[in-house]
Structure 1
Amino acid sequence: MRLDKFLKISRLIKRRTVAKEVASQGRVYINNQAVKASHDLKVGDEIMIQFGNKKLTIRVESLQEQIRKDETSRLYTVLKEEKIESESF
């Protein structure tokens, strides 16, 4: 499954076009490598996403084309959630 589609289905990012933009800006890493939105995911991949002042690291547990909203947490496990300190000048 494509990265952008997984991010939308898992509801980590609300829209697929936004997921594509985030990946093209170099803010998504899979197994410590920057990737494009078209990258094929596999079960067990670790995804790090940088949102503004937060980094979220998850592990892909399942790849499903369709899933109910209340079951999306089964698709991934949150490994780490960090705040990024902004430098003030």
Structure 2
Amino acid sequence: MATNLRLGGEAEAALRAEAERTGRSQQHILREAVGKYLGLIPSQADHVDPLIARGKVAPPRVPFRDVRPRLHLEQGESSLDLLDRDDRT
């Protein structure tokens, strides 16, 4: 069955990020989520991302959110220019 799905901006960004991070298609992720929600696919509560399981990455503390940079540098300026002279190495 084909269907259209309209996502909010934050959900769309989270879906794109997860697809890019995992290398799976957005469609695959959505099918899996619907299947789990409807009980068609067993939910694996013990399933952990391999990087989290190996201790390479900490699990997220909050749900996905799109972070916007707060600092805007002028043309030709770098973050090193913002440090005091004593802080530069």
TM-score above 0.5, yes or no:
no
Structure with more of its chain in helix, by fraction:
2
Larger Rg: 2
Structure with more of its chain in strand, by fraction:
1
- The two structures have a TM-score, normalised by structure 1, of 0.30
